[in-house]
Amino acid sequence: MSSLETPERTRVFPVIGLEVHAQLQTRSKMFCPCPVTVGDEANAATCPICLAFPGTLPVLNREAVTLAMRLALATGSEIHRDSRFSRKNYFYPDLPKGYQITQYDRPIATGGGIEIDTPGGSRTIRLTRIHLEEDAGKSLHDTPFADVPSTVSLVDWNRAGVPLCEIVSEPEVRTAEEAASYLTELRRLLRFIGVSDADMEKGNLRCDANVSVRLSEDEPFGTRVEIKNLNSIRFVAKAIEHEIERQAESLRRGERIVLETRLWDEKSSRTVPMRGKEEAQDYRYFPEPDLGALRIDDAWMSEAAATMPELPRARRARLLAAGVPASDAETLTSARELADYFEQTAALASTRLAANWVTGEVLRWMKERRISAEDALSFPVSPARLAGLLRMLEAGEISAASGKEVLAAMIDSPAEAAALVTEKGLGRISDAGELDRVASEIVASSPGQVALYRSGKTATFGWFVGQVMKRTGGRADPSSVREAITRALETDNG
Ligand code: ADP
Ligand code: MG
Ligand code: ZN
């Protein structure tokens, strides 16, 4: 074969499917009254049910079901009025019962999709299913206790029994960037509708990526590799990128891809084998005998649909239509609270100015303090007060530079913008008399520049403008300044 054919032969077409686990925002666990806690003392949030004492029975958390239904409604999935729970059997120290209660052959919802933006336009990645399940506990291999030898592992069951929903996509994602967009969109959606805080750093949103490659888009799908242990969207993209390349290399060498589970190793920036097909576990799923059918009636359906907010993409489209620039509309809809803050401001001031200042000054201040967009409504300057400042800017009563100074002062004080502008003397100098005085002083004290200007170096005019601006702290209106300098140069007779 000629070398010219090689690049053509080894070009690969990736196929990606994502499995996401989202922790549901409930107060208590899936099957017992234990609280869902963060950072509590190990094993403080446990009871005989989540520790699997003999004779205990699970009681389904109604709120967890309602939240999964909300997600299903938001993704256009079909909610099944009659779904079931199964036992997934495997042995692991952080799994007290020796099985996990999950939904298997009859999940709560199927179908629907997540719409993502791609360079070629928007596209919907269809969902296979959404189902409910309980989380496992956590094994601590590096124990924090001095008196525990390093060969010993400890278990914290606080997380055991915490409600999760699993969202499985069809194998329709085609690139690492699309996978990142899918996760970004899903995370934003989960937060918008109050289903999960979807914090990947805390492990409240976890993703497994299934990747295969094929040599042409007409071929059937290739053997997939599942990558686990991905705890940020950036790592998901990096791991997929790497895995596509690794599989392409294997095909180039004429090898077969083996069905296996790999882990992303951030240190070496590559995926490493975890377990192969032979080691794949046989979960021996069977119906959970301790829970009845999960039946959903019309009243429950309406309850889940009630107070459903406008979804992020619809909201973004509405902001775009109102004249918000595309990148600002994207930023402003990253969280419902931020979009609320913006819209409350824009209702009382110019939309464009509001978009500009909220995505600029307001977000910058929040980011510097590591305040998340979800907490936008706690920004110390209320939308009404910010709007007051924006109206002064719009009317040309203050300069943008003064506006920033006033906003900084408003953050530390309950005062309105107008009061602070007066207090700090930041109002525009529109008084022609004052500008004439400043311009004449500068002209009189700069004979060199005046001579240059008169010799035909008209660019020197800009120097005079700069001087007046400097002297007035940027508070003068540029066109009034030019007029004042023209008058000063005319009346100056050397
Ligand atoms: P399992 O439960 O064993 O993980 P599933 O059939 O539920 O298996 O598939 C899990 C994920 O793998 C889904 O997101 C699906 O889209 C994806 N997937 C299935 N086949 C392929 C493939 N050939 N290449 C890439 N992803 C795939
Ligand atoms: Mg899987
Ligand atoms: Zn419990």
**Segment 362-404, tens digit of pLDDT:** 999 999 999 999 999 999 999 999 999 999 999 888 888 899 9
Ligand 1 lined by 170 (C-beta under 6 Å): yes
Pocket lining: 169 vs ligand 1, CB cutoff 6 Å: yes
pLDDT tens digits along 47-89: 999 999 999 999 999 999 999 999 999 999 999 999 999 999 9
Count helices and strands (H / E) in the chain: 17, 17
- The token pair that represents 487 in the structure block: 């008058």
Q: Residue range 457-474: average pLDDT?
A: 88
CB of residue 17 inside a 6 A radius of ligand 1:
yes
Answer for the pair 297, 84: CB distance below 8 angstroms, yes or no. Answer: no
Of 12, 13, 16, 19, best ligand 1 pocket probe by most atoms within 8 Å of the beta carbon = 19
Q: Which atom of ligand 1 is nearest to the CA of 210?
A: 26
pLDDT of residue 426: 83
Q: What is the mean pLDDT of residues 144-150?
A: 80
- Cα–Cα dist 260/274, whole Å: 8
Q: What does the pLDDT read at residue 142?
A: 77
pLDDT in tens, 267-287: 999 999 988 876 777 899 999
The residues pairing with 138 across neighbouring beta strands, listed in sequence order, are 156
How many whole angstroms from 17 Cα to the centroid of ligand 2? 9
Best mutation site among 210, 244, 277 for ligand 1 pocket (most ligand atoms within 8 Å of CB) = 210
**pLDDT 10s digits, 10-46:** 689 999 999 999 999 999 999 999 999 877 899 999 9
Q: pLDDT higher for 251 or 288?
A: 288
* pLDDT tens digits along 211-246: 999 989 999 999 999 999 898 999 999 999 999 999
Q: In order of start, what are the domains of the chain with their CATH numbers?
A: 4-300 (no CATH), 310-424 (no CATH), 432-493 (1.10.10.410)
In Å, how far are 417, 443, 481 from 475, measured between CA atoms? Answer: 16, 19, 10
Task: Tell how far the Cα of 332 is from the centroid of ligand 2, in angstroms.
Answer: 34
DSSP annotation of 4 reads: G
* Ligand 3 centroid from CA 163, angstroms: 12
In sequence order, what DSSP letters do the residues of 51-103 get, joined into one string? Answer: TT-TT------HHHHHHHHHHHHHTTPEEPSEE--EEEE---TT-TTSEEEE-
Ligand nearest, relative to CA of residue 50:
3
Beta carbon of 402 within 6 Å of any ligand 1 atom: no
The pLDDT of residue 143:
73
